[in-house]
Structure 1
Amino acid sequence: MNDVLDAALDVLARAGYAAMTFDAVAARAGVSKTTVYRRWPTKPDLVRAALLRLVDVFPKARDTGTLRGDLIELARVRLLDDSRERERAIGLMRANLGDLDDQELRALGRLVTERAHQPIVAAVERGVARGELPPGTDPALVLEPIFATLQFRVFVMNEEPDLRSAEQLVDLVLAGARAGAAVRAGAADAR
């Protein structure tokens, strides 16, 4: 069934969510449309499974022992190492920019983003536990400026990703976070 999910990602990256059809996915996967419908009865079901599979096959980053190292490692494995998946992600982003007002697609995007961010949130939480960041640090305020900026540069601006830029961005965001700029509103008052 992974062939069907890969085919769904390919069709989604080429045609976009609105134009994606079960016929196109089945043809790309070399199976019957009935085979696809039997497993995923609706387009959102199929797209959700395909996008979550994409997240699940992301290269895994190792725990480096420091938050800075973890964030750089995650940027490296997500944006620098796997050019095939990066190209697919660029296609997915570009093909679906016009469909961002679609409620189903936005809900799927939130689900996929949450799953994709789990390792990054875990790295930030480890950093807080090790005392690298103040208690009450909001992981989203650390990860979003880093990864949204890197994704914008790669996916939208079509820049070639480079490790030095990722390192500078991580250092910039961590400097602010260490100074308390990423502490959740109200958490600083409770301390």
Structure 2
Amino acid sequence: MDAKTPAGATPSTTDRLLDATEQLLAEKGIRATTMTDVAERAGVSRAWLYRKFPDKPALVGAAIIRLIEASWAKSRAELSTLDSFEDQLVAGVHIGRRAYDDPGTLLLRLRTSEPDEFAACAGAGVHELVPDLAGFWYPFVAAAAADGDIHPDTDLPEASEWVARVMISLGSVPGQHIDPDDPASLRQHLRRYVLPGLRMSPAGE
């Protein structure tokens, strides 16, 4: 049984397909991994695979996003130890970047060895990442509203989605004016733009 499947549980077909995809990506890389390889490794028909994932970018993208989500899940406790919402946001960006940049990780190997293929497939999977990452941030946003770090009338689901989008952008999209690897630069950006937006009244007062 794969390590991602709890003891006593049977992995779903989607989990089996993503487990097989991760194994093949680790062994062969993106270009050399085929849909047929994945179906055979997972023990399903190609027709069933295409019912779940319409093409290879969607499949590989889902595997990439699951790897990123696993990194976030492990980091929930890390963010929970921090006292302020600002500190949690700073740490969140660093955690997101770490998911791509930790030496020896599958994500880093794929990104550096096949950058074009990685970018295309990661983009295909991002539509699944936003709602999941918003759900990850929801309790931290709710706690910030309760503690007075942001406006108490903040629309929590909407704000959580916005925070998720900010995390994705700062964690993965290069820019010219913000260095997300420099804590001072990152904190300044958050204080100037992100936190003031969250502290405004939702009614625009």
TM-score where L is the length of structure 1? 0.61
Of structures 1 and 2, the one with the larger relative CO (CA 8 A, separation 6+) is 1
Change (3 A) 1:124 1:90: farther
| Structure 2 letter corresponding to 1:118 | G
Tell whether the 8 Å contact from 1:9 to 1:50 is kept in structure 2 after alignment: no
Partner of 2:56: none
How far the C-alpha of 1:126 sits from its partner, in A, is 1.6
Contact 2:171 2:180 in 1 (8 A): no
CA distance in 2, matches of 1:37, 1:47: 17
| CA separation of 1:78 and 1:146: change in aligned 2, threshold 3 A | closer
- Deviation digits for residues 60-84 of structure 1, max 9, x if unmatched? 1321131111111212222147523
Contact 1:133 1:178 in 2 (8 A): yes
- Alignment: residue pair count: 165
1:176 aligns with 2:203: no
Aligned amino acid, residue 195 of structure 2: L
Equivalent residue of 1:129, what SS?
helix
Alignment RMSD, CA only? 4.0
Q: Secondary structure at the match of 2:148?
A: coil
Check the 8 A contact 2:90/2:187 in 1, yes or no: yes
**Which among 34, 38, 41 is matched to residue 40 of structure 2?**
34
Judge conservation of contact 2:22–2:63 (CA < 8 Å) in 1: yes
Q: Quote the residue 1:55 is aligned against.
A: 68
Residue segments in structure 1 that go unaligned for 5+ positions in a row:
26-32
Percent sequence identity over matched residues? 16
In 2, Cα distance between equivalents of 1:117 and 1:68 = 17
1:4 and 1:36 in contact (8 A); partners too: yes
Q: Which residue of structure 1 aligns with residue 131 of structure 2?
A: 114
Aligned position for 2:150? 133
Partner residue of 1:71 out of 76, 82, 89: 89
TM-score (structure 2 length as normaliser): 0.58
Residue 152 of structure 1 deviates from its aligned partner by: 0.6
1: CA distance, partners of 2:148 / 2:33: 47
Aligned counterpart, 1:167: 187
Gapped runs of 5+ residues in structure 2? 4-18, 54-58
Q: Name the residue aligned to 2:20.
A: 4
